[in-house]
């Protein structure tokens, strides 16, 4: 296909419930020319393959389907991008949808202002409560280069689908395969490396947020440090580390505290050893890679409010491990009561 402006990459794995809705949002884009939709069927065992075959037959000049054995979402996204031909890449998850004017608005912005990256907002649908909240980019500049203010890398979003990416830029840092939190390294690298980043302060994407899945405690959480280490290596390899060191250190601090925040409300027994391994590995990473992390200058400015309020607690490996151990055999009611009291005993006391 010639003169492709945007390649939309969709990894698919057992997504029959929402797949047609997703594909309808892509083939219905108001940008009628210069699009290609690359769908990578990552070993689906449900009816996804039949749905994809029907759409490929109906839109042969628009949709290309690649089928393979299951390798994971990172491999599928990388494969789709490597087999694309667009000037820009746009990722979409198979259970979400793109608003119909998204590609038109994004390409107009990128081509007009010479953007390597265009950030945009999304509507977040909470699958548990049914509520929708609007999430917009935190950056206040219409066009900017992050190298001029490197600390703002702390504000970057890790999601792969809320940004239009120049294809050549994406291919410089693919998703790491075989680990969880694979979206962090390329997202941070793209923000740091783009010569010009554009912003559209409007939602162009509908994202289904499943709290139970995103916060589920599993061995995959051990990959927190692998993702951070991969990011650190790629920044060093590309000669970007010194400029963005404070921001990368902040990301490691943030992810460590967030893991503790996710682990502590867990009321199921029998996973104490795993939880202790996860939080210990995160603090070990901080201590060995960033020994002075408590003095990071970005923490007071960028740390989320829910962590800031109890910084003294969430920044302490000892306090979190003690809470996990003490709560292992408590009932859910006792657990919540204990954790509430423990947090109240450790309010914000500064960032020392």
Give 164-207 pLDDT, tens digit per residue.
Answer: 999 999 999 999 999 999 999 999 999 999 999 999 999 999 99
Q: Are 14 and 97 in contact (CB under 8 A)?
A: no
pLDDT one-digit tens code per residue, 111-165? 999 999 999 999 999 988 999 999 999 998 899 999 999 999 999 999 999 999 9
CA 97 to mean position of chain CA atoms: 17
Share of the chain above pLDDT 90, in %: 79
CB–CB of 172/149 below 8 Å? no
Rounded Cα distance between 261 and 265, Å, is 7
All structural domains of the chain, each given as residue ranges with its CATH number in brackets, are: 6-214 (3.90.550.10), 219-344 (no CATH)
- At 308, the pLDDT band (50, 70, 90 cuts) reads confident
Residue 6: beta bridge partners? 35, 88
pLDDT at 2: 67
Q: What is the mean pLDDT of the chain?
A: 93
Check if the beta carbon of residue 230 is closer than 8 Å to that of residue 257: no
pLDDT digits (tens, 9 = 90+) for 316-349: 999 999 988 888 877 778 877 887 888 788 777 7
Half-sphere exposure of 150 (CA within 13 A, CB side): 17
pLDDT of residue 352: 66
Q: Note the pTM of the prediction, 2 decimals.
A: 0.93
Write the CA distances from 310 to 174, 306, 315, 321, 342, integer angstroms.
36, 7, 8, 15, 10
The pLDDT, as a whole number, for residue 336 is: 78
Average pLDDT over residues 98-115: 98
Closest listed residue to residue 112, CA positions, set 140, 142, 146: 142
Contacts of 318 (CB under 8 A, 6+ apart): none
Asked whether 307 and 291 are in contact (CB, 8 A), the reply is: no
């Amino acid at each position: 296909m010639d003169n492709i402006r945007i390649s939309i990459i969709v990894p698919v794995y057992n997504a029959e419930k929402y797949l047609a809705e997703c594909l309808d949002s892509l083939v219905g884009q108001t940008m009628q020319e210069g699009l290609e939709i690359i769908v990578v069927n990552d070993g689906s065992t449900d009816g996804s393959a039949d749905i994809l075959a029907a759409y490929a037959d109906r839109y042969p000049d628009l949709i290309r389907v690649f089928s393979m054995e299951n390798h994971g979402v990172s491999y599928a996204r990388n494969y789709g991008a490597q087999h694309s031909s667009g000037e820009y890449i746009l990722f979409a998850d198979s259970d979400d949808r793109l608003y119909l004017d998204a590609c038109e608005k994004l390409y107009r912005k990128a081509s007009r202002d010479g953007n390597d990256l265009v950030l945009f907002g999304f509507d977040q649908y909470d699958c548990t409560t049914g509520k929708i909240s609007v999430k917009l980019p935190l950056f206040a500049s219409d066009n900017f280069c992050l190298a001029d203010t490197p600390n703002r890398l702390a504000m970057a979003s890790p999601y792969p689908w809320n940004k239009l990416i120049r294809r050549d830029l994406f291919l410089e840092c693919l998703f790491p395969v075989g680990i969880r939190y694979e979206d962090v390294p390329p997202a941070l690298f793209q923000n740091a490396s783009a010569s010009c980043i554009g912003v559209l302060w409007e939602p162009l994407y509908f994202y289904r947020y499943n709290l139970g899945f995103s916060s589920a405690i599993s061995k995959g959480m051990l990959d927190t440090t692998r993702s951070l280490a991969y990011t650190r290596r790629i920044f060093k390899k590309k000669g970007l580390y010194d400029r963005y060191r404070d921001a990368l250190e902040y990301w490691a601090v943030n992810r460590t505290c967030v893991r503790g925040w996710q682990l502590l409300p867990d009321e199921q027994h029998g996973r104490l050893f795993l939880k202790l391994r996860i939080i210990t590995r995160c603090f070990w990473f901080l201590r060995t890679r960033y020994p002075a992390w408590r003095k990071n200058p970005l923490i007071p400015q960028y740390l989320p409010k829910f962590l800031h309020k109890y910084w003294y607690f969430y920044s302490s490996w000892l306090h979190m491990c003690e809470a996990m151990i003490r709560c292992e055999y408590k009932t859910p009611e006792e657990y919540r009561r204990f954790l509430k009291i423990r947090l109240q005993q450790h309010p914000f006391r500064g960032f020392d």
